[in-house]
Structure 1
Amino acid sequence: MFTALKLDDTGDITLLTGQLQMVSGTEAIVQRCRIILGTHKGEWFLNPELGIDHSKFFGKHVSKEEMHDEIVSGLMQESHIQTVDSVDFVIDRVNRLVTVSFTATGIDGEAITAEGVGIGG
């Protein structure tokens, strides 16, 4: 399993008494999924394939089925996820925010769950 720097809700590195905080295991996988879903595909020049197409969530003619498929596609970019088992999301059109909850199965068979993952906003 891998470890990564722990990020807060705004994407900043987390410090505790001046020490960098780390995440590992399912917490690291969930953090990477948050990064993927929060990144517009093509936004990061070092990996233009990372992320999802945010226009599928905030365009004029959006489909819940397309939104679902785009979320699943994004989650499957995480190499430690074997299957995405369920996806639920709430659309806040006023604030242009989609809040996602998902359950997945890791490559080691472990359940991975996350709630309150934001897209947009």
Structure 2
Amino acid sequence: MQSLKLIDGDLVIEGGDLLMIDGVGEVIQCADLVLGTNQNEWFLNPPLGIDFGLFRGKNPDEEMMKEDIRRALHDHEPRIQSVDQIDFTYDMKNRNMEITFLATTTEGKQLRSEVGLDAR
């Protein structure tokens, strides 16, 4: 499958042409979009995304956050067979969180990605 290439949510244009992305990179981009969307935020697909409320506050429950990530990826990215590892890195000073996940596609390919969230 092919998609338009995005960087920080913006279309990538090179030499006047929109760039495309495919393969594992495209699966990662789609997974990152799922995890970067607050559930009920997009009116065309309210179930898309994760519940940002679980990721905010002083003592977020990591098991609940991991379960929500697995649910979102399973429900909205059918090319991901399993989510094998999820790690969180907190930047308390700036109130940011980075989610790193390792997953296996339905084709048996391994993928790794990081998604940053504002934890305020």
Settle same-fold status: TM greater than 0.5: yes
Report if aligned partners of 1:34, 1:118 keep a CA contact under 8 Å in 2: no
Structure 1 match to 2:100: 101
| Structure-1 separation of matches of 2:59 and 2:89 | 17
Deviations 1:4-49 (A, max 9, x none): 00001x2000011111000001100100111111100000000000
The CA distance in 2 between the partners of 1:33 and 1:93, in whole Å, is 25
Residue 50 of structure 1 and its aligned partner are, at CA, apart by 0.2
Shift of 1:97: 2.0
Q: Does 1:7 align with 2:6?
A: yes
C-alpha contact (below 8 Å) 1:37/1:118 kept by paired residues = no
**Whole-angstrom CA distance in 2 between matches of 1:92 and 1:57:** 13
Partner Cα distance (1:34, 1:46) in 2:
18
Count of aligned pairs: 118
How far apart are 1:65 and its partner, in Å? 1.3
Question: Aligned residues: percent identity?
Answer: 39
Q: Deviation of residue 59 (structure 1)?
A: 3.2
Q: How does 1:18-97 map to 2 (within 5 A)?
A: 18-76=16-74, 77-97=76-96
Aligned Cα root-mean-square deviation (Å):
1.5
3-state SS of paired residue (1:62): coil
TM-score by length of 2: 0.89
Q: 91-100 or 77-86, which moves further after superposition?
A: 91-100
Counterparts of 1:43 and 1:67, CA distance in 2? 18
Q: Which runs of 5+ in 2 are unaligned?
A: none
Instruction: Write the distance in 2 (CA, Å) between the matches of 1:49 and 1:15.
Output: 30
